[in-house]
Amino acid sequence: MGDKDKLILDEPVEDGVKSYSRKHSKKAKGYLQLPWYFSGGIVLFWGLLFVAVVKPLFYRLPEPLTVEDASKGVFIAERAQANLYDFEAIGTKVVGSDGNEHKTVQFLLKELNLIKENVREDLFDMEIDLQYAYGAYVKWNLVNMYQGIQNVVVKLTPKGSTSENYVLVNSHFDSQPTSPSTGDDGHMVVSILEVLRVISSSTQSFEHPIVFLINGSEENSLQASHGFIAYHKWAKNCKAVINLDAAGSGGRELMFQSGPNTPWLASIYKQGAKHYFSTTMAEEIFQTGLVPSYTDFDIFVEYGNLVGLDIGQCINGFVYHTKYDRIDVIPRAALQNTGDNLLGLVRTLSNATELRNPSANPSGNTTFFDVLGLYLITYSADTGVKLNYAVAAAAIILVYVSLLRIADTSNVSSEQVLSSFVLVLVVQIIAFVLGLALPLLVAYGLDKYGYSLSYFATPSLLIGLYVCPSLLGLALPSFIYLKLKSYDKVSVAQQVQLTLHGHAAVLSILCIGINYYGLRTTYVITWTLVFYVVPLAFNLLTTLHDRGFSWTAILKIVQVAPFMYNSYLFYCFIVILTPMMGRFGLGTNPDLIIGALTALGTVLSMGFLILLINMSRRSGFVLLTLLSVAIAAITIASSSDIGFPYRAKTNVQRVPYLQVRRVFYEYDGTVSKDESGYLFSFQDRRGVSPLKDTNVDLTGLVNMTSDCAKYMMCGMPLYDHRWVEAMDDTMWLPRENPVWTPAEPILELRNKTVLADGKTIRFQFNLNCTDHTSIFINPNEDVTVSSWSFLEEYLTTNSPPYHIYYSYGIDNTPLDFSIDITKPDADFNVQLFEMGISAHYMHVDGDDEAVQFAKTFPDFAVTIQWPAIYKKYQF
């Protein structure tokens, strides 16, 4: 038996402090019996538990299967990986490029025809369709218009099936500029091919036909998924979707959206998935817009009224949308993980009885979460609300019972104990606030002095920057309280117990408040409380509650569960969101987000445990150590290369910019401006500052604020809605020589016709442009755009300047469009509106000067750039 156990068991039930030796008996100060190293051991043990158990479970992947296992009818990662090599070899796949519209489509059709040659024709019918999609829709305050976008679609139907309700499985094959898109979304594309290969050659049949959609324009404002769900012949029968996307590469895929309002889908995931990774908290965070990403799932829900599961790669998001999104960061085991899950989900969903009559199924939201990837817990949101209130109430009731028990065993009045607990509760409220506030204070300070994102390439700094301040905030108030409190009949062991009760009461109040607000993420607090309520109930039912520190034994054992889950959960979000902070924009301090998540995870993982340091005579030693580590981390973050955010290849700074030529035509046709330069839209908080001491010549770089106030859309070829939203933060670097573009947009005014009302004139245009073009329209104050050939609904829901984002894939036919301008005084011989044509040539490198300029950037910076031209006209 260890010394600690002897100290606990030797303590008299009647008075937990009277057995102290004379050497350490200082009752007036409340000194405790346990040795000094006990308090440090508490923190060290839980840290080691996280490193030894939680992290390995988080990164765990299954053993990949090879072609030798093919006879088993399972997903073969080796075959998928072979397809992925071929997919990557194509290179970038920007919409409109040869790589996207020809090479990738040919690759997919070749693989699908090979699969079709081996289909079990006695069991299945397999149809392959190549869709050319044309259409438009409103999203992000602009019109998304597309023509000739390609979708590769496959339908697998069981012989004799009478079901008219199909399962849709979707991913995309196009890419962002510079990226070979191996992870986003080649990983999912080859997973679909292998799942189709396995199912179509298997003797295991299913009830509902399966449509596999590999769409050709997701990165381009989700256009291809709209083209499918709005116009494809099989779309109207699709009732449930499994959407596959990526914001990372090479790990487990996260199921982060289920539904909407379809509780049985969480059960489908539980039955079908083999390797669980999912949480309601991810769904609620994603739907707040905190994550700077979108998926086709939104299109299917909004325009097709589908329900389903949204699943995405999310680990190692540092390579996402860069040239480093390659196969060398994707282990074969990651493909096996995705394939096992996808194969199980497709088979389960295609046999779901709920799809026989989707409208008859009960509605509602679901609370779901995996436990360390080993098990999935699901229950309805209504059940969750009741559970949350019940657990919070149980915690409060048991704390009250414990207070009465302490009063009884200490021979003091219950009123005295209750009044003492009120003070303890105030102390713990302060502790809870400090546990969250101190990390945020550090985050604010680092950002204020230009050191944000210091953990970007060195995540271990988070321990010192945010975990240690949070632990310090949680523990310091109770430490001071117990040191200052004069001795009374309530033993020190019971005083420590009161501090834990105070923390439980704070969590209970928080649980009730968040539950009332309606967040299903309340489950995290609820289950944290469950593992305090259980040991407290056990201790109250036995004599352990009254035997000095004996009550801590069962508590520490049971606390293993919430510690492991909460640290696993919040580590998950830190791993996922940290890379996203590198593309979160200039306007938000990302350290506040990461700091808040780290602090909340620390409070929920260690909130009860850190208070146990007060059992030791030298608990101040732990607080001093925490403070020292925090100071050391802040020093390292602000004054050493370790705190520099970026590393070549692995943790890069994204530097998006355009090689711009802009030409302004006045109403009489003369040119008032013709200039060239580079337009930067920095994506992270540090902006241009990391580049200032490098070889990049940024002489003359200015903010675009004045131009944005003077000209429509800053007078620049802003690319998509993200560039428009961030236009006030863009920066302009002029260059003397004109920027070269492989072509120029040609806008031709075909006709002007005064309509029957006499107050409206119709302008008819023909535009010959590139595959990524925006049209900006801004009417004068005394006129209105009353109608046009674009979507009419946009005019009723949006105000000028209007933005039409237009792209094409395989069909480069010039665009014909018309605009109706209404002017009350019918004077059409003056300027009525201005139009900007923003043309982007995304699959060329640019001229020699632009190429040489790009080469001057340091190796930690990844440039994402292309030539663009902007022409402004007055009509």
Tens-place pLDDT, residues 621-644 = 899 999 999 999 999 999 999 999
- Both tokens assigned to 317: 């998001």
Mean pLDDT confidence for 495-508: 97
Q: Is the pLDDT score of 21 beyond 50? A: no
Buried b (16+ CB within 10 A) or exposed e, 666-686: eeeeeeeeebbbbbbbbbbbb
Beta bridge partner(s), residue 263: none
Mean pLDDT confidence for 585-595: 95
Q: Is the pLDDT score of 603 beyond 50? A: yes
Q: What is the pLDDT of residues 127-144, one digit of tens each?
A: 999 999 999 999 999 999
Percent of the chain with pLDDT over 90: 90
Q: Are 308 and 240 in contact (CB under 8 A)?
A: yes
Q: Are 354 and 266 in contact (CB under 8 A)?
A: no
Counting Cα atoms < 13 Å in the Cβ hemisphere of 415 gives: 0
Q: Please tell me the predicted confidence (pLDDT) of residue 35.
A: 67
- Considering the domain delimited by 67-372, tell me its CATH architecture: 3-Layer(aba) Sandwich (3.40)
Q: Please tell me the predicted confidence (pLDDT) of residue 619.
A: 86
The overall longest dimension of the chain from CA atoms, in Å, is 106
DSSP string, 253-311: EEEEEEESS-THHHHHHHHH-SS--BBHHHHHHHHTT-SS---HHHHHHHHH--EEEEE
Q: Are 185 and 874 in contact (CB under 8 A)?
A: no
Q: Is the pLDDT score of 28 beyond 50? A: no
Q: Please tell me the predicted confidence (pLDDT) of residue 36.
A: 59
Q: Please tell me the predicted confidence (pLDDT) of residue 19.
A: 37
Q: Is the pLDDT score of 25 beyond 60? A: no
Mean pLDDT confidence for 50-69: 96
Q: Where are the domains of the chain?
A: 3-57+386-643, 67-372, 652-875
Nearest to 773 by CA among 845, 718, 818, 810: 718
Q: Which pLDDT band holds residue 289 (cuts at 50, 70, 90)?
A: confident
Q: What is the pLDDT of residues 707-762, one digit of tens each?
A: 999 999 999 999 999 999 999 999 999 999 999 999 999 999 999 999 999 999 99
Computed over every residue of the chain, the mean pLDDT equals 93
Q: Is the pLDDT score of 2 beyond 80? A: no
Q: What is the pLDDT of residues 184-217, one digit of tens each?
A: 999 999 999 999 999 999 999 999 999 999 999 9
Nearest to 327 by CA among 80, 60, 581, 76: 80
Indicate the pTM of the whole model.
Answer: 0.93
Looking at per-residue pLDDT, the higher value among 447 and 486 belongs to: 447
Q: What is the pLDDT of residues 604-622, one digit of tens each?
A: 999 999 999 998 878 888 9
Q: Is the pLDDT score of 20 beyond 80? A: no
Q: What is the pLDDT of residues 232-247, one digit of tens each?
A: 999 999 999 999 999 9
